[in-house]
Structure 1
């Protein structure tokens, strides 16, 4: 990839983040809130803040749905479509060993993608009816803390030396009293 293409992608990512954050913030600041709002959440995410507003949240809710579709559903759909094509190529390979190697390479990335996009989409697309504060906290914690924490572990386990050392350590734990 060229330096120019890389910088363009970074600039677009930052610009979209700034536009989205500015839009959400400006819409949130116009809403009426209780005098002492308490957000029953681990972090100040937009949905818990919107739930505290007493009126006029329609534009903000439309903004959240739009951002969810653009930044979560579209990329997730493109990733799933590309993996469907990759799966087609894998299944067309003649060698079983080649299929296993390519599938092993792709499966770790697909696992991380599904963990992140799955929990994020459930959080932002799920209807309000039937959603509990506890479930919202767990889902939020999952896509903001647990998935990024699992990321290096999932990718590291693909390394043969690390996997071997982990197996060796597990055998020592089992054999020792």
Structure 2
């Protein structure tokens, strides 16, 4: 009888510890690994396929998968299509990698800036080192000559704001 009670208590303790371990793992996974980073979000959205191709060609995947935080003003495929004919093809050539890196890093701010914060700013310094001008008028936010069409796409390492025009550094 005593041995049966001990076995039952040991089993209950083991099950309790196992349950605690499973709960801790799932809570930890949900907090640290389940949210996608900026690159994963862009790669999972067909509207950003050109951007993802450019990020890969520029060798910026690891950078944009790092801890950040980053704010990315992400041009859509339509935004890239607005560039003068041949511009994108030239930028994607290996010999023009430095120019491509300059263009892409001109779309990134080295901090997490949510939409409610962007509207309070008139400029922001990009990772490229240049400033982008920010204007807000009647609910529309402009980053240089690009209109922000969607905001606050949260990533594990920052935030994405979608823009309709590719930003070109000066």
TM-score (norm 1): 0.23
Name which structure has the greater RCO, CA cutoff 8 Å, separation 6+: 2
Relative to its length, the structure with more helix (as a share) is: 1
Of Structure 1 and Structure 2, which has the larger fraction of its residues in strand?
Answer: 2
TM-score by length of 2: 0.23
Larger radius of gyration: 2
